[in-house]
Structure 1
Amino acid sequence: MELCHQISLVAGPIITALFIGTVSYPIMFMILACTFFVGTLFVLSLHSHSNTKDTTSESTTDSKARSYFKEIVGGIRFTYSIPILAIILTTSLFTNMMFSGPVNMIIPIHVNDLGWDGSAFSSLITSLGVGMIVGGMLTGLFKGFRGKFMLLPVILGCMGVGISSYYFIEELSFGLVSHFLIGMALSMTNIPFITYIQSTVPANMLGRVMSLLSLMSVGFGPVSYALCSFLLAKNIATPGHLLFFGGIIFASVSLSLFFFRSFRQMEQHPNWKKPAMEEELLPATLSS
């Protein structure tokens, strides 16, 4: 799923760059609307199949009795009662706050200030997507960095340095390299952390924990945009300064993971240490 998402990040900017020079914006938005409509048809074709035989009457009654709000509160309490989950989600909150605004909002402004055009920005986004694909492949090659999680803060720290480097970039080629390395680091850290959560969290709590992770990584993006907009509107900082200091904060928060014993010992979890026999049998199971 991550690779499919990353491939779309590569194909999208390339197609957009071609459209910018050939069609008008109204036609581009019409094409966009059509793609969303086709996507809707695919979503409508999906069906959820539940096996009622595997669900006991007690669990069914219990699930009906609990309200949705109580389930959310229960998920939050469960997540923050386990130190390593709390550390992962809190780190995700701060790193995405420093990533969403500076990269998704400030870089286009910085590109414009450098005098580059829309095609240059599309090339940067394409480079980011290619880096994510390569990073995803490397993550699979190294088996999700199992047994090497101490490398993840270093990779995240390098990602922060890549964001800060935009303050010094004046040539497009350097921007493409920086975007490529940021994309690689993004995949090489996101996939192992998500895999770890899915491997260690009980099945009955997994959906709520993953929802909280999505909230931390995506839901607070608008907060980052608002903060960056405020700093720019009040002339407190320039786009270059936001990229520079945002990257430094990003790297500092990432490297601070080394100070937590729960993080240093996270791979000692019994569900994570057990032999990956089920993963080896997965292709045969799918084919049957």
Structure 2
Amino acid sequence: MIPITKEAKVRTGIWKGKFIYLWVASIFSSLSISMYLTIEQWYVVNYLNLKSSLGIILMATTIPRVLLMVIGGVVSDKYRRSKVIFFSLLTRCFMLLLMALFYTNNLLSLSVLFIFALLFGASDAFFWSARDSIVPGIVHKEQLVRANSVIQTTNQLSVMFGPVLGATLLSLFSYSTIFLIIAFTLLISIILLQFIKEKKTLRPKKTSILRDLAEGINYVKDSSFLLTVMVTFIIVNLFFIGPLMLSIPILAEDRFKGNAFYLSIFQSSFASGMLLGAIVMGWLNIKRNRGKLAISFIFLEGLLLMIFSQGINLWLAAAILLAIGCCVSSINILIVSLIQEKTPSTIVGRVMSVNTMVSMGLIPVSYGLVSTLLSINVDIKFILLCAGIVIVLFSVLLLLKASDLKNT
């Protein structure tokens, strides 16, 4: 009999057992969430004809998710993570059924939709915390990079195809029917989660949420590696997300004559790059020098941002956005895998949620800073150039000083 090598086991290990159920459940849940967000926005713009109120609904969906992310991490460490995911999806499934009922009876007004958006965002905070922290408990540590790559690939595909499926449903069915269809896709995820037999985490004594939260924050404060990671995500998100995402529609409008075709090329290139990066990371399943590699991708990300800020033609700009997307996805996968591997399972939910909350919370700040600079007539190309320089300099600083991340 031919012996199975350790590497072969690593390559095939995630494609069986608990991870398969989690992965398929993630496919249905991610698609349903992506479709819901598309339907929600179109309902406000098209059905209610309240375009000016769209921002309010989007804030109601996103702010509770950011604020409750840490609480979601506490709950994920306190209870079985599969059960936390289960109740998060079940709550949203129930809300969609209620939305179908409200719509049928002409009661789904903007104020009612606002309440549903708040609840949907709050439930989402518990889902992501539990989903990210359950992975180290169901796959071997040598499979973490590959497992996270598969999850990231699923997320990117959902972001790309969810709106398309949502738009297709809008052309075929009424809103009430669409809400029921999305609820059914969530129900499939709920059923699949029942096959994940997760061991319950034993806690020595009952503690309050505030005490658990303080324990997680203190653990992060006492770890130079985690502090370095957190500062890295803060700098990168603050100087990267806002300048890049706001520059895409502006450059498509100013430099390429406002043709929507060019805008779609830019957006598709960036999304495709993130998908490609996740696939490559999963295929390579890198185990060594992940810290140095992540720093190298941050350097390349800043350099590409500087190049993108200059006067370049359409297809070169699209290629640069593709490469930037690859960098973004690769950085996330490498660093998240390191956090999962180096953090004890009893506290990984809180650590992941603290990191996510801090990094996500600064994205609106980044948007606001760029919008403010644009309002005082600062050129978007100059903003991109400065942001790229800051990221490049920060990556050099990491390479010189951040030994905890560099040598991990």
TM-score (norm 1): 0.75
Distance change >3 Å, CA 157–CA 232, structure 1 → 2: same
2:270–2:322 Cα contact (<8 Å) kept: yes
Q: What is the 5 A alignment of 1:32-43?
A: 41=187
State the distance in 2 between where 1:98 and 1:221 align.
9
The correspondence for 1:193, drawn from 322, 335, 341, is 335
- Map Cα deviations across residues 223-255 of structure 1 (whole Å, 9 max, x no partner): 1111111111123x2111111111211222223
Matched, 1:214 2:364: no
Deviation larger for 98-107 or 41-50 = 41-50
Distance change >3 Å, CA 116–CA 146, structure 1 → 2: farther
Matched, 1:67 2:208: yes
Q: Which amino acid aligns with 1:165?
A: I
Distance change >3 Å, CA 189–CA 253, structure 1 → 2: same
Q: Which runs of 4+ in 1 moved over 4 A?
A: 33-52
1:131–1:179 Cα contact (<8 Å) kept: yes
Q: What is the 5 A alignment of 1:65-214?
A: 66-114=207-255, 115-214=257-356
1:97–1:220 Cα contact (<8 Å) kept: yes
Matched, 1:253 2:403: no
Distance change >3 Å, CA 55–CA 26, structure 1 → 2: closer
State the distance in 2 between where 1:122 and 1:238 align.
22
Q: Which amino acid aligns with 2:318?
A: L
SS of the equivalent of 1:146 reads coil
SS of the equivalent of 1:144 reads coil
Aligned to 2:156: 6
- Map Cα deviations across residues 56-83 of structure 1 (whole Å, 9 max, x no partner): 5xx26x3x4x332332222111012010
Distance change >3 Å, CA 212–CA 181, structure 1 → 2: same
Where does the alignment leave 5 or more consecutive residues of structure 2 unmatched? 1-150
Q: What's the RMSD between the two structures over aligned residues?
A: 3.1
State the distance in 1 between where 2:184 and 2:244 align.
29
TM-score (norm 2): 0.54
Distance change >3 Å, CA 77–CA 38, structure 1 → 2: same
SS of the equivalent of 2:286 reads helix
State the distance in 2 between where 1:134 and 1:174 align.
18
Deviation larger for 165-174 or 94-103 = 165-174
Q: Which amino acid aligns with 1:89?
A: M
Where does the alignment leave 5 or more consecutive residues of structure 1 unmatched? 267-288
State the distance in 1 between where 2:381 and 2:289 align.
37
Higher relative contact order (CA 8 A, sep 6+): 1
Q: Which amino acid aligns with 1:146?
A: R
Q: Which amino acid aligns with 2:367?
A: Y
2:201–2:346 Cα contact (<8 Å) kept: no
Q: What is the 5 A alignment of 1:45-60?
A: 54=200, 56=202, 59=203
1:106–1:242 Cα contact (<8 Å) kept: no
- Map Cα deviations across residues 33-91 of structure 1 (whole Å, 9 max, x no partner): 75866665556657678878x555xx26x3x4x33233222211101201011101110
